[in-house]
A and B are shown apart, each in its own frame.
Chain A
Amino acid sequence: MTSHLRGGVRLHGVSKTYGEGAAAVHALQEIELDVPAGKFAAVLGPSGSGKTTLLNIIGGIESADSGKIIVAGQDISGRRPRDLGAFRRAHVGFVFQFFNLISTLTAYENVQAVIELTGCRDRGRIPDLLAAVGLSDRGAHFPAQLSGGEQQRVAIARALATDPDLVLADEPAGALDVATGRRVLELLQQTSRSGCGVIMVTHNEAAAEVADHIVRMRDGAIVSEDRNAMPADASTIRW
């Protein structure tokens, strides 16, 4: 099964600073991180600790000031925006706290839109993707007709539409109630178990317990990195 494991991440000396001079904010400082392929990693930390910046840099939607970034076997350090777009198309799926679904498209069409915009021709996967997130019967519904949890599940299906090696989730359950959030975490856990790497940013200790790998951050630096030998089953956690 090892050959199916995808989406490993290795960061070496990654730093990122916003602003200049006295107004400079050091979002990331000399980050060293190694998440093996196919693992579910959770990045924990308070607001402003650099979690989202770290996730964005791994996903190639922000660039680091320095350091080496290898994602899914690709060195993306210093790549041009156009190359990063191609890299994301091939390797990365994103899930955000705010779902950012297109309100004028149905659940099915929201997934389809990503397939069209990325140039992927495989529309036959959409029913399977919706089935995988438990929304087989809600494909024809518009976002306003779906609950928050359902909308986030559509977002997950959308992230998986391009068959990525790595799913990056930024507070995916942050805007959801416990039961709905639990369902979303289950989906991410399933995704990881299928061989796809998952990195989830959260400030929720309980949610992080579902991960194989827990990274704690504070003030732009990694303060601890633990392997979770016994990840919790997402369906059982509470917060």
Chain B
Amino acid sequence: MNRALPKKTLRDLRRRLPQVVAIGATVMLGVLLFVASYDSFRNVQASYDRTYVRTHFADVTVTGGDPDAMSAAVRHAVGVDRVATRTQVDRPTAIGATKLVGRVVGMPPPSGGDINEIDLVAGRLPDPARDDQVVVERHTADTFGISAGTPVQVFDGTQWHDVTVSGVGQSPEYLWPARNRQDVLGDPHTFAVLFAPESLARTLSGRAAPNQVLVEMTSTATQSDHDRVMGLLRSVGAVDIEDRADQPSNAALHESLHGLSGMAIGFPALFLTAAAIAEYVLITRLIHTERPIIGTLLALGARRGAVVRHYVWYGAVIAVVGALVGVLAGAAATSAYTTSYASLLALPDTVIEHRISTAVIGFVLGLAAGVFAGLVPAVAAARTAPAEAIRGDRVRPNRIGPLTRLSARWTLIPVTARMALRSLTRNRRRTAATMVGGVLALVLILSSAGMLTSVRAMLDVEFGSVQRQDATILVAPGANNVGAQLVAVPGVATVEPTTMARVTVAMNGHTYPTSLTGFEPATVMHSFRTPEGTARALPADGVLAGVALADKLGVRVGDNLTVVPAAGPASKIRLAGLVDEPLGTALYATNTIARSMTNAGPDGYLLRFHDDVDRDRVRAGATALTGVVAYNDTHAVEHQLDSYLVIFWVFAGAMLVLGGLLAFTVIYVTMTVNLAERTGELATLRAAGAPVRRLTTAFAIENLLATLLAVPMGLAAGIGAGWLFLRSFNNDLFNLHLSVGPTALVLAVAVVAAAGVSQLPAARLINRIDVARVVRERAQ
């Protein structure tokens, strides 16, 4: 390289190598995060899609009606690839001592060529010569420890049938084991999926003919083809039509991914912003030290554009290196993240692709952050008035600030401390730059830590104070005296009857499918929290609803809601109040009101256990009772929710680790830039005989005070950023409030501690100053 200015850039950067490396690392982390989160996000989607294509996941599923007529109606329609019929019913099932709802699904023939094909992951397919073998779905097998040979009983409505598990399979319909759209997060012990040969499925269901039609569209089918098929199905009596988008497993996984899409963009943006600000601080302070030189060069006729380009180069060089490494590391992180996600959810197919477009966008974003960070101070440098810059600080007296005047009287305070105090106000821009480090660090950590603590708090509130039952039991219609028998089950402390029903709420032309739960008027199984944070009782008349319903339907307290039960006529009921619950948007009423609205009898019980009870024994005892058809353990539901949030935990955890690294880096940069800028001053003091220890102490006090001053701003900004990220995760399933609590203070202490640790390299730098060289340079 023969040009002088690029040499200057490289040598200047080499002189500030620790800061340059640190800033390059922040750019690298931002780009890494963008590439990893964006490509992983798309990889996960592509993994689902690959499974869906390979297993011919149905685009449309119709239940009920005349499947043969519907099949014939759409078989030759444009855009239709495959059509199949099958039997699917939910039947009381027993696995060992556990009673639960078993879904019997007719299997495609072994020759393949059907829709919703299953992957056998263990054992073998049912023997065609036998009519008592089933394949059990993987989640069911995992929950109950089922393997080939395990016996299962299925009740067809009149009698129990014994079947044997021949193998374990995975289905595109149950990548997430959701029973239906409203029951995404149930106790896995309450629901099992059994794939049976079609003839056995009909036997177990007590049906003579299939009750479902599955339609797979071609890959080139258009939306209008799709709409036409839906129309054809309706024309032959299809009512219960389920699109792929509404398929419970697909919808649940899609919602989980969608909740993170905002974070997948927001966090990289935050990291790159932090990198840009740190870089801005570095280049600004560098330019500040070079003002006389810039003034001289401008006086000599240097073109302003050339000056701008020169300083923009600083940012660009750092950003290019950081972004390149970020792209490469991002590719590695993409593989790791996609693999771990696929592994945690046991996806049948894992697609790991590294997209050039993502790499290019990530690189450009990283470069843009660096260029922009350099551009602002570079333009300011080029606008420097030469005469003023050349005069520099040599003739400009430092303003005597109030702190300086005040501290002059504090003669009892050591001079080191007074120096530090005065330095804070002596150069406010420099102090502000140091404070920026603390603020950014807190924003980076709090935004990710806030997500984790808030979701953790959500789970604690939901399962600690809102849902206070240990188990929920569903009983068969007409079952007698179950409540009294449940009280006698060892370990059960309290039993309350409950009413559970699926309903649709209609208002203002909108509808919302949800659940209505009835409790005893003075229930101890559920607490109702108002949006103001106070507790309230169930209303004697009317219902309570989750706050999200107000937005969904545009309703207000006092309005009369139309509630449509699954069976029976719609009724009107007053909205007596809103409740602020972290999970779901449900309706609550007294049992009396709930039963009158749904025309149903008591269909369930809520249980509270004694402390330290063996939950499995209670489950076994309760499900052994006649009339008990399902048993939901609240702990198991909580565990299931944890599994559902796996992508969130992995992502937010990674953000916290990277955010912590970045925070420390930013603090280090701002602390040491402050030092680099004052090398001349410190060298002069050292030349005058000031002990290194005293200089180091003064410098550390100054930096730590600046960091402490930054803490309130950082906490406010960090909490604000966390709140914004959390908003992107809120929907009618999750109603999250930012909850950081003592974590904020712990993180503030950590940031100050990080600032303290950053003083160690700073102290080494002070110790290593080449006094002679610096003094000679500064004397020019």
Chain A interfacial positions (CB closer than 8 Å to B): 56, 59, 61-62, 82, 85-86, 88-90, 92-94, 96, 98-105, 109-110, 112-119, 143-144, 148, 151, 158-159, 161-162, 175
Stretch of B24-32, B146-154, B288-296, B522-530 with 4 or more beta carbons under 8 angstroms from chain A: B288-296
- Is B298's CB under 8 angstroms from A85's CB? yes
- Per a CB cutoff under 8 Å, which of B299, B773, B779 touches A88? B299
Task: Of the listed stretches B4-12, B596-604, B635-643, name the one at the interface; the rest are far from the partner chain.
Answer: B4-12
Alpha-carbon separation in the docked complex, A148 to B776 (Å): 9
- Could you name 13 residue pairs across A and B whose Cβ atoms are closer than 8 Å? A56-B387, A61-B386, A85-B301, A89-B303, A98-B394, A101-B293, A103-B780, A104-B12, A114-B300, A117-B297, A119-B303, A119-B306, A148-B779
Output the nearest chain B residue to A161 by Cβ-Cβ distance: B300
Q: Which residues from chain B contact A85 at a C-beta distance below 8 Å?
A: 298, 301-304
Question: B130 interface residue, CB < 8 Å from A?
Answer: no
Indicate if the CB atoms of A117 and B777 lie closer than 8 Å.
Answer: no
Among A62, A92, A98, A114, contact of B292 (Cβ-Cβ < 8 Å):
A98
Q: Give every chain A residue within 8 A of B15 (Cβ-Cβ).
A: 104
CA distance A148 to B775 in the complex (A): 12
- A117, B303: Cβ atoms closer than 8 Å: yes
Across-interface contacts of A101 in B (CB, < 8 A): 293, 780
Given known contacts A62-B387, A96-B390, A100-B292, A118 and B301 CB-to-CB distance under 8 angstroms: yes
Which A residues lie within 8 Å of B779 (CB)? Answer: 148, 175
Of B297, B301, B303, most buried by chain A (CB within 10 Å of CB) is B301
How far is A93 from B386 in the complex, measured between Cα atoms in Å? Answer: 13
Q: In the docked arrangement, what's the CA distance between A90 and B292, Å?
A: 22
Is B396 an interface position by the 8 A CB rule? no
Contact among A88, A94, A105, A119 for B4, CB-based, below 8 A: A105
Given contacts A100-B390, A104-B12, A116-B306, contact A162 B300 (CB under 8 A): yes
Q: Decide if B4 touches A100 in the complex (CB within 8 Å).
A: no
Q: How far is the CA of A102 from the CA of B301 in the complex (A)?
A: 16
Contacting pair A117 B306 (CB below 8 A): yes
Task: Compute how far the CA of A61 lies from the CA of B386 in the bound complex, rounded to whole angstroms.
Answer: 6
Residues of B within 8 A of A102 (CB): 8, 290, 293
Residue in chain B with minimal CB distance to A61: B386
Interface residues of B (CB under 8 A from A): 3-5, 7-8, 11-12, 15, 290, 292-293, 295-304, 306-307, 310, 385-387, 390, 394, 773, 776-777, 779-780
Contact A109 B4 (CB under 8 A): yes
Contact A158:B292 (CB < 8 A) given known A61-B386, A104-B8, A143-B777:
no
| Contact in complex: B780, A105 (CB < 8 Å) | no
Assess the B301–A113 pair: CB atoms within 8 A.
Answer: no
A100 touches B293 (CB 8 A): yes
CB nearest to A145 among chain B residues = B776
Q: A86-B301, A118-B300 are in contact. List 13 more A-B contacts (CB 8 A).
A: A56-B387, A61-B386, A85-B302, A85-B304, A89-B301, A92-B301, A96-B299, A101-B293, A104-B7, A104-B15, A112-B3, A117-B306, A162-B300
Chain B hits for A119, CB < 8 A: 303, 306
When the two chains form the complex, which single residue of B8, B387, B773, B776 contacts A109, counting CB atoms closer than 8 Å? Answer: B8
The residue among B12, B296, B310, B779 with the most chain A CB atoms within 10 A of its own CB is: B296
Query: Given A105-B7, A105-B11, A117 and B302 touching (CB < 8 A)?
Result: yes
Given contacts A59-B299, A89-B301, A94-B300, contact A113 B8 (CB under 8 A): yes
Report yes or no: B310 in contact with A61, Cβ–Cβ below 8 A. Answer: no
Rounded to whole angstroms, the CA-CA distance of A151 and B11 in the bound complex is 19
Query: Known contacts A56-B387, A61-B386, A113-B5; is A100 also within 8 Å of B780 by CB?
Result: yes
A117 to B298, CA, bound (A): 9
A143 adjacent to B301 (CB under 8 Å): no
Min CB distance B158 to A, Å, is 92
- Complex partner residue of A99 from B302, B306, B387, B780, CB under 8 angstroms: B780
Complex Cα distance, B298 from A227, in Å, reads 32
Q: CB-CB < 8 A to B8: which residues of A?
A: 102, 104-105, 109, 113
Whether A112 lies near B387 (C-beta < 8 A) is no
Q: Tell me the bound Cα distance from A51 to B7 in angstroms.
A: 36
Residue of A nearest to B772 (CB): A144
6 nearest interchain CB pairs?
A: A89-B301, A117-B302, A104-B11, A112-B4, A88-B301, A109-B4
Q: When the two chains form their complex, are residues B306 and A90 in contact, meaning their CB atoms are under 8 A apart?
A: no
Report A95 CB to chain B, min CB distance, Å.
9
Instruction: Decide: A109 and B7 in contact? CB cutoff 8 A.
Output: yes
Which A residues lie within 8 Å of B310 (CB)? 117
B128 CB to nearest chain A CB (Å): 82
Point out the residues of chain A lying under 8 angstroms from B292, CB to CB.
Answer: 98, 100
Residues of B near A151 (CB, < 8 A) are: 780
Determine if B780 and A114 form an interchain contact, defined as CB atoms under 8 angstroms apart.
Answer: no
Q: Give CA–CA (A98, B393) in the complex, Å.
A: 13
Residue in chain A with minimal CB distance to B390: A96
A105 to B8, CA, bound (A): 6
Contacts of A62 in B (CB 8 A): 385, 387
Contact B387 A116 (CB under 8 A): no
Alpha-carbon separation in the docked complex, A180 to B71 (Å): 103
Chain B residue numbers with a CB within 8 Å of A114 are: 297, 300, 302
Q: Are A93 and B773 closer than 8 Å at their CB atoms?
A: no
For the complex, give the distance between the alpha carbons of A99 and B299 in Å.
13
Looking at the complex, which one of B5, B295, B385, B387 makes contact with A100 (CB distance below 8 Å)? B295
Complex Cα gap A112–B306 (Å)? 13
Residue of A56, A104, A143, A158 touching B780 (CB-CB under 8 A): A143
Which of B300, B386, B773 contacts A158, CB < 8 Å?
B300
Chain B residue with Cβ nearest A57: B387
Known contacts A89-B301, A144-B777, A162-B301: A113-B4 contact under CB 8 Å: yes
Do the beta carbons of A61 and B387 come within 8 Å of each other?
Answer: yes
In whole angstroms, what is the CA distance A98 to B394 when docked? 11
